[in-house]
Chains A and B, each alone.
Chain A
Amino acid sequence: MVGADASEFRLRVGEAVIGLDCPSPAYAASLADYFGGATAATPHIRLRLEIVPHDDSPVVPDSLFTAKRLLPVKAHDRADGDPAGPRRFAIGDDLVTGWYDPDARAGELRVKCVLTNNQLTRVFEQLLYQAFASATEAAASDSFLVHASGVIHCGSGYLFVGAPEAGKSTVARLSGEAGAMVLNDEICLVRFPGAQAGLTPVLEGTPFNGLFREKTPGAAPLRAVLLLAQAPHHRLVPVGRALATATVAAQVVPPVGLDRLIDGRARARLLECADRLCAAVPARRLEFLPDAGFWREIDREFETERDNESAPGSGDSCSRRKP
Chain B
Amino acid sequence: MTSLETVLVPAESYCVREIGEETIFLSNSGDQIHVLDEVGTFVWKEIDGRRPLGEILDRICAEYDVSRETAERDLLRFVEELTEMGLVTQLANRS
Residue of B nearest to A272 (CB): B17
Contact between A242 and B20 (Cβ–Cβ < 8 Å)? Answer: yes
Residue of A nearest to B32 (CB): A250
Return B27 CB to nearest CB of chain A, in Å: 9
Alpha-carbon gap, A272 to B26, bound state (A): 11
Are A249 and B22 also in contact (CB < 8 A) when A267-B15, A268-B15 are? no
Let me know if B3 is at the binding interface, CB within 8 A: no
Q: Which of B22, B23, B28, B35 is the one whose CB lies under 8 Å from A267?
A: B28
Return A63 CB to nearest CB of chain B, in Å: 9
Let me know if B39 is at the binding interface, CB within 8 A: no
What is the interface size of chain B, counting residues whose CB is below 8 A from a CB of the partner?
15
Q: Which of A242, A250, A268, A272 is the one whose CB lies under 8 Å from B23?
A: A242
Alpha-carbon gap, A87 to B23, bound state (A): 35
Return B79 CB to nearest CB of chain A, in Å: 20
Return A316 CB to nearest CB of chain B, in Å: 34
List A contacts of B19 (CB < 8 A): 241-242, 245, 275, 278
Contact between B28 and A242 (Cβ–Cβ < 8 Å)? Answer: no
Contact between B26 and A271 (Cβ–Cβ < 8 Å)? Answer: yes
Contact between B30 and A268 (Cβ–Cβ < 8 Å)? Answer: no
Residue of B nearest to A247 (CB): B33
Residue of B nearest to A270 (CB): B26
Alpha-carbon gap, A94 to B48, bound state (A): 42
Query: 1/0 contact trace for A60-83 toward B, CB 8 Å?
Result: 000000100000000000000000
Q: Which of B24, B29, B30 is the one whose CB lies under 8 Å from A242?
A: B24
16 example contacts (A-B, Cβ-Cβ < 8 A) are as follows: A66-B29, A242-B24, A242-B37, A245-B17, A245-B19, A245-B24, A246-B33, A249-B24, A254-B30, A267-B15, A267-B30, A268-B15, A270-B26, A271-B15, A275-B17, A275-B19
- A interface residues, Cβ below 8 angstroms from B: 66, 240-243, 245-246, 249-250, 254, 262, 264, 267-268, 270-272, 275, 278
